[in-house]
């Protein structure tokens, strides 16, 4: 599948992203608040309290997962646009994901080369964090995720390939749809965030996937320089 043709104004995308974050995090926090208030009640058995506590903890975990999908690299004034060294930015993301990959018995194999594009570092890293993380999570019995950079005259393409469980046609068609998740504790927000960021940075993407074989995500941005 290819990038959807809907092209929003850039600032609109940025402010939408910010608005979605507070909206998404408010939901689980409201649930926690409700259960905390219930726990203050007088005639509550230990057993019920335990149940409420577990629900509250689940919801807090969900809030954390949402923050991971949106704001891992958050800094004030995230809208800053500057030249980004693709290889350095990807290295940062890969370093950050190594412990997570090790936990899953997954090796991240980078083939990077110098290239500069124009964009925002925080968003760029968040975008590839979500994509590579999905690759790692797709391999239940270990394997490798390959991250490669290809530079052209006018574009730079980042390819993330995994040997994981892949997706059906139906799943592939729903990739990036908010709340679409096949994972027990998935948010279904990571892919949407990645796609919004790619569009914001004038990029395009294609994804190929085969059930039981693996998935390849290709993201192309306009090139600023080959250094």
Q: Measured from the CB of residue 123, what is the shortest distance to ligand ADP in angstroms?
A: 16
Instruction: With beta carbons less than 8 A apart as the criterion, state whether 149 and 86 touch.
Output: yes
Q: Measured from the CB of residue 111, what is the shortest distance to ligand ADP in angstroms?
A: 18
DSSP states along the chain: -B--S----HHHHHHHHHHHHHHHHHHHHHHHHHHHHHHTSSS--HHHHHHHHHHHHHHHHHHHHHHHHHHTT--SSTT--EEEEHHHHHHHHHHHHHHHHHHTTEEEEEE----EEEE-HHHHHHHHHHHHHHHHHT-TT-EEEEEEEEE-SSEEEEEEEE-S----HHHHHTTT-TT---STT--S-HHHHHHHHHHHTT-EEEEEEETTTEEEEEEEEE-SB--
> Counting contacts by CB under 6 A, is residue 116 touching ligand ADP?
no
Other CB atoms within 10 A of residue 220 CB: 21
> Counting contacts by CB under 6 A, is residue 130 touching ligand ADP?
yes
Q: Choosing among ligand ADP, Mg ion, none, which partner's interface includes residue 183 (Cβ < 5 to 8 Å by kind)? A: ligand ADP
Q: Choosing among Mg ion, ligand ADP, none, which partner's interface includes residue 223 (Cβ < 5 to 8 Å by kind)? A: none
Q: Measured from the CB of residue 56, what is the shortest distance to ligand ADP in angstroms?
A: 21
Tokens linked to 221: 């941005």
Among 116, 122, 126, 134, binds ligand ADP (CB under 6 A): 134
> Counting contacts by CB under 6 A, is residue 28 touching ligand ADP?
no
> Counting contacts by CB under 6 A, is residue 187 touching ligand ADP?
yes
Which CB atom, from 2 or from 185, has the smaller least distance to Mg ion?
185
Q: Measured from the CB of residue 43, what is the shortest distance to ligand ADP in angstroms?
A: 38
Q: Measured from the CB of residue 207, what is the shortest distance to ligand ADP in angstroms?
A: 8
Among 24, 162, 163, 199, binds ligand ADP (CB under 6 A): 162
Phi and psi at residue 160, in whole multiples of 5°? -115, 115
> From CA 220, how far away is CA 108, in angstroms rounded?
20
Among 190, 203, 207, 221, binds Mg ion (CB under 5 A): 190
What part of residues 38-77 is at the interface with ligand ADP (CB under 6 A)?
none
Q: Measured from the CB of residue 190, what is the shortest distance to ligand ADP in angstroms?
A: 3
Binding interface with Mg ion (CB under 5 A): 134, 190
Binding interface with ligand ADP (CB under 6 A): 130, 134-135, 138, 162, 164-167, 171, 175, 180-183, 186-192, 215
């Amino acid at each position: 599948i290819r990038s959807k043709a809907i092209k929003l104004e850039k600032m609109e995308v940025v402010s939408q992203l910010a608005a979605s974050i507070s909206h998404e995090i408010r939901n689980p926090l409201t649930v926690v608040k409700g259960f905390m208030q219930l726990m203050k009640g007088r005639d509550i058995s230990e057993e019920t309290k335990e149940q409420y506590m577990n629900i509250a903890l689940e919801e807090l975990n969900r809030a954390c997962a949402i923050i991971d999908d949106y704001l891992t690299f958050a800094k004030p004034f995230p809208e800053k646009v500057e030249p980004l060294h693709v290889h350095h930015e990807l290295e940062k993301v890969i370093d950050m994901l190594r412990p997570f990959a090790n936990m899953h018995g997954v090796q991240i194999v980078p083939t990077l080369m110098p290239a500069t594009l124009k964009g925002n570092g925080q968003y760029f890293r968040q975008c590839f964090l979500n994509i590579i993380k999905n690759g790692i999570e797709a391999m239940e019995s270990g394997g490798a995720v390959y991250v490669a950079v290809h530079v052209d005259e006018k574009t730079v393409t980042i390819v993330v390939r995994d040997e994981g469980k892949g997706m059906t046609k139906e799943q592939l068609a729903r990739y990036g749809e908010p709340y679409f998740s096949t994972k027990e504790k998935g948010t279904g927000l990571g892919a949407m965030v990645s796609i919004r960021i790619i569009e914001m940075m004038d990029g395009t993407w294609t994804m190929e996937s085969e059930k039981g074989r693996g998935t390849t995500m290709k993201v192309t941005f306009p090139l600023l320089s080959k250094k």
